[in-house]
Amino acid sequence: MEVKLHIPVMLKEVIDFLNLTPGKVIVDATIGTAGHALEIIKRILPNGLLIGIDKDEESLEISSERLKDYQGYFSLLYGDFRNIDVLLKKINMEKVDGILFDLGVSWHQLSNPQRGFSFQEEGPLDMRMDRRSFISAYDLINNLNEDELSNLLWIFGQERKHNRIAHLLVKERQKAPIQTTKQLAQLVSRVVGSYHQRIHPATRTFQALRIAVNRELESLSEGLNKAIEILKPQGRIVVISFHSLEDRIVKYTFRRKSYENKLKIITKKPLRPKKEEITENPSARSAKMRVAEKI
């Protein structure tokens, strides 16, 4: 299957705010298919090092292929960025000059029906970024009780009709397990109708499940705190988030570290993509970038 590559979001801003110069060590904590990484590595040669982390082994394979012209200048690590400290110790790296977190889902994950991230294509209810992990969306949908499902949809998806969706899902799974993305999307659409004008009725439900399956908010909170400790003085941390729950964690982590005199906040308000970028890449429309510098 041919892989359609993810378009890196706010690429120019990432390059500018990371203050890239030859010889720097930069971590792309969510390397995906190396969209940002390809441009970063060009600016830290010679003698620089790009360290790419991802918990999706398919992403690492694609990155390795795309970066092959830069052998010796990159190191790819399989794992969750929440363990960034442990991962870097494996390659004897204690401090780095810059760290990027791009919290979006890669296009190759969304576009592969077998990964179960998309309500547009028929596929298994999976949604695991790390395919070695145990719990999938299928497990949550078919095993959580009605209150647990309702809370999950509200907390992680801010879905207003969470109670009614949870009630319907529990009722339907008593007849037979809910197994596919299309099946779930159709059930949610029956409840939600068309009140979401701009987005598919199942968007918030799928977002909530993906966040829960991958424990994304816990990982972000833990990963950010560790990343800040790993940065050298004057090192930059750049985070691109795609929904309010993520952005809130970034905002308050940066603010707290600023009060502790560990970080200087560079972006007082989050930066948003320019209109031209959103026209070219509609998936960038909800992106927010925050940048801070180690004191």
Looking at the structure, do residues 170 and 261 belong to the same domain, yes or no? Answer: no
Distance (Å, rounded) from C-alpha 230 to C-alpha 73? 20
Q: Are 205 and 157 in contact (CB under 8 A)?
A: yes
Cα 55 from chain centroid (whole Å): 11
Assigned domain for 4 exists: no
Angle at 91 between CA 87 and CA 96, to 5 degrees: 75
Assigned domain for 3 exists: no
Looking at the structure, do residues 206 and 224 belong to the same domain, yes or no? Answer: no
Assigned domain for 235 exists: yes
- At residue 60, the pLDDT reads 96
Tell me which of 154, 187, 214 is where a domain ends: 214
Q: Is the dihedral of CA 243, 244, 250, 251 positive or negative?
A: positive
- At residue 53, the pLDDT reads 98
Assigned domain for 272 exists: yes
Residue type, 36: H
Looking at the structure, do residues 20 and 60 belong to the same domain, yes or no? Answer: yes
Distance (Å, rounded) from C-alpha 256 to C-alpha 122? 43
Assigned domain for 129 exists: yes
- At residue 118, the pLDDT reads 87
- At residue 2, the pLDDT reads 45
**CATH number, domain with residue 137:** 1.10.150.170
Looking at the structure, do residues 253 and 198 belong to the same domain, yes or no? Answer: no
Residue ranges in the chain modelled with pLDDT below 50: 1-3
Looking at the structure, do residues 121 and 101 belong to the same domain, yes or no? Answer: no
Looking at the structure, do residues 121 and 161 belong to the same domain, yes or no? Answer: yes
- Measured CA to CA in angstroms, residue 106 lies from 20, 121, 135, 172, 269 at distances of 24, 16, 20, 31, 25
Looking at the structure, do residues 118 and 207 belong to the same domain, yes or no? Answer: yes
Looking at the structure, do residues 170 and 259 belong to the same domain, yes or no? Answer: no
Assigned domain for 197 exists: yes
Specify the DSSP class assigned to residue 2.
P
Assigned domain for 119 exists: yes
Looking at the structure, do residues 124 and 259 belong to the same domain, yes or no? Answer: no
Looking at the structure, do residues 156 and 210 belong to the same domain, yes or no? Answer: yes
Tell me which of 161, 195, 214 is where a domain ends: 214
**CATH number, domain with residue 18:** 3.40.50.150
pTM, entire model: 0.92
Looking at the structure, do residues 49 and 75 belong to the same domain, yes or no? Answer: yes
Assigned domain for 2 exists: no
What range does the domain containing 166 cover?
114-214
Tell me which of 214, 237, 267 is where a domain ends: 214
Number of domains observed in the structure of the chain: 2
Q: What is the pLDDT of residues 196-245, one digit of tens each?
A: 567 889 999 999 999 999 999 999 999 999 999 999 999 999 999 999 99
- At residue 105, the pLDDT reads 80
Looking at the structure, do residues 34 and 102 belong to the same domain, yes or no? Answer: yes
Report the chain's C-alpha Rg in angstroms.
20
